[in-house]
Amino acid sequence: MHADIDRILISRERIAERVGQLARWIVADHAALGDGAEITIVPILTGAMIFCGDLIRQMPIAMKIGLMTVSSYPGATVASQGAQVIQRQLANVKDRHILVIDDILDSGNTMRLVVPTLRDLGASSVRTCVLLKKDRPAAREVAIDYVGFEIPDEFVVGYGLDYNDYYRNLPDIVTLHRRVLESRA
């Protein structure tokens, strides 16, 4: 697997440091909502799984977790094919403060789909957090409350991000050799 890596874009150490900062920032904002504000964390599966796991373990506040599975890069594709909600396990989000967590903001289609859906379900507020934001015009048009890193417009894997469902378990965020993108397709 390591032979497939072209270069490490963001090391596990830098990720860990930034995840800690994001957690402290989110917790401070949450405190400003006042006593009794209830939060539900909604990781967008599958990509946000690892980021969310690390993030919420550094957030010492009462929270529930709801799940949404959104697919936009089915199989061996490296460009968004349009976001689609595949599965929803949200329980009751009415009158709750929602924090949507995703691995990466690319075309913005996922957030454009998910945020209005949660508002329609009666959430008191919907905030958004992504670990990565790609430097491309489409991503700049979507306002995100908490961004970990801005990265160049390249296809990356690791720390939850996949190519054809592989590489999610890599601890760093990396780019792959071009030959790999062809052979794992």
Query: What are the start-end ranges of the H helices in 69-108?
Result: none
Q: What are phi and psi of 139, to 5 degrees?
A: -70, -30
Structure tokens at 47: 């990509």
**One residue of 18, 155, 168, 184 binding ligand IMP per CB under 6 A:** 155
156 is an interface residue for ligand IMP by CB under 6 A: yes
Collapsing DSSP to helix, strand or coil, 102 comes out as strand
47 is an interface residue for Mg ion by CB under 5 A: yes
40 is an interface residue for ligand IMP by CB under 6 A: no
Q: In whole angstroms, what is the distance from residue 11 CA to residue 178 CA?
A: 21
Taking the complex as a whole, the smallest distance from the CB of residue 52 to ligand IMP amounts, in Å, to 12
Taking CA atoms, 167 is separated from 18, 26, 70, in Å, by 21, 28, 18
Binding mask 58-97 for Mg ion (x = CB under 5 A): ----------------------------------------
**One residue of 9, 22, 41, 44 binding ligand IMP per CB under 6 A:** 44
Taking the complex as a whole, the smallest distance from the CB of residue 93 to ligand IMP amounts, in Å, to 20
Q: In whole angstroms, what is the distance from residue 115 CA to residue 107 CA?
A: 15
Interface residues toward ligand IMP, by CB under 6 A: 44, 47, 72-73, 80, 83, 102-110, 155-157, 161-162
